Amino acid sequence: MSFLFGSRSNKTFKPKKNIPEGTHQYDLMRQAAATLGSGNLRLAVMLPEGEDLNEWVAVNTVDFFNQINMLFGTITEFCTEDSCPLMSAGPKYEYHWADGQTVKKPIKCSAPKYIDYLMTWVQDQLDDETLFPSKIGVPFPRHFNTIAKTILKRLFRVYAHIYHQHFQEVVQLGEEAHLNTSFKHFIFFVQEFNLIDKRELAPLNELIDKLATGSSHSHHSLHHNTHTAATESSAHISSLPAR
C-alpha cells in the first residue's frame, strides 16, 4: 500500500485520494496494509475471506492511484513537453488520449499532458459515489468490473512510461525500490483477478516475466534486471491500440 513510500516520496502529482475513516473500506485498507507489511505480495493481493470482491478491487484501485500519483510526482521535472513530446513506452508503443466522453476521438499529446488527462479522469471516477460508493449498503454499479479494468489498464501506462523513459532518473533519485515494489504489487493484483488483458501489458512483458519467476528476489536484483527488461520488451511486439 502507499505506506511503503514512507516520508521520502511525499510529493504528489494530483491530490491524494483518501478513503474516509470509519468506513468498512477504510478498515479493509488497514487490513490490506498489515498483510502487505508481511512482505508476501502474492498473499497480500488475495481476497480476504468473507469480503466483497468489488470492495476489495475498489480499495486497491484507490491505493494504486495514490502510489502512481506519488511515483510520477517524483519525476515530473524530468517528464516535460520537450523531453517527452509523445506519450510512449519505448519506441514501439505510443498512446493517444481518449476518454469516450469529452475526448471521443483519440488525440496525440505529450506524456505530461496525457498523464494529466489520465490522472484527472481517474480521480473523477474515484470521486463519483455512483461508481465508487464509500457508504455501507450502497451497491456498486453492475458494470463496476469494467470501470475498474479501464482505470487499471490506463494506470499501467504510467508505469510503462516511467520504466521506459525515466528509469535512470528514478535510480538517480534512489526511488527504484519504491517503483519496483509498487509495480510488483500492481501486477500481482491485476493477475490475481484478471483485470488487464495480457496484450495491454506487452510493453513490460520481460519485466513482468522476471517478477513472476523471481518473486522472492530482492529489490537489488530486480533493479539490475529492470532497465534491460524494459528495453527488450519494446523491440518485439507491434504497437498497442491508442485508446
pLDDT of residue 227: 42
Task: Identify whether 240 is part of a domain.
Answer: no
Please give the Cα distance from 64 to 188 (Å, whole number).
12
**Once rounded to an integer, what is the mean pLDDT over residues 81-95?**
96
Mean pLDDT over the full length of the chain: 81
The binding site comprises: 79, 84, 161, 166
CB 223 within 8 A of CB 177: yes
Dmax (CA) of the chain: 50
217 or 192, higher pLDDT: 192
CB 48 within 8 A of CB 109: no
**Once rounded to an integer, what is the mean pLDDT over residues 80-88?**
96
Task: Identify whether 70 is part of a domain.
Answer: yes
pLDDT of residue 32: 65
The per-residue pLDDT for range 146-198, each reduced to its tens digit, is 999 999 999 999 999 999 999 999 999 999 998 999 999 999 999 999 999 99
pLDDT of residue 217: 41
Task: Identify whether 203 is part of a domain.
Answer: yes
* CATH code where residue 100 lies: 1.20.140.30
Number of domains in the chain: 1
Task: Identify whether 220 is part of a domain.
Answer: no
The binding site for Zn(2+) comprises: 79, 84, 161, 166
The per-residue pLDDT for range 37-62, each reduced to its tens digit, is 556 788 889 999 888 999 999 999 99
**Once rounded to an integer, what is the mean pLDDT over residues 236-240?**
33
Task: Identify whether 173 is part of a domain.
Answer: yes
The per-residue pLDDT for range 98-124, each reduced to its tens digit, is 988 889 899 999 999 999 999 999 999
| Structural domain harbouring 155 | 62-213
Please give the Cα distance from 108 to 119 (Å, whole number).
17
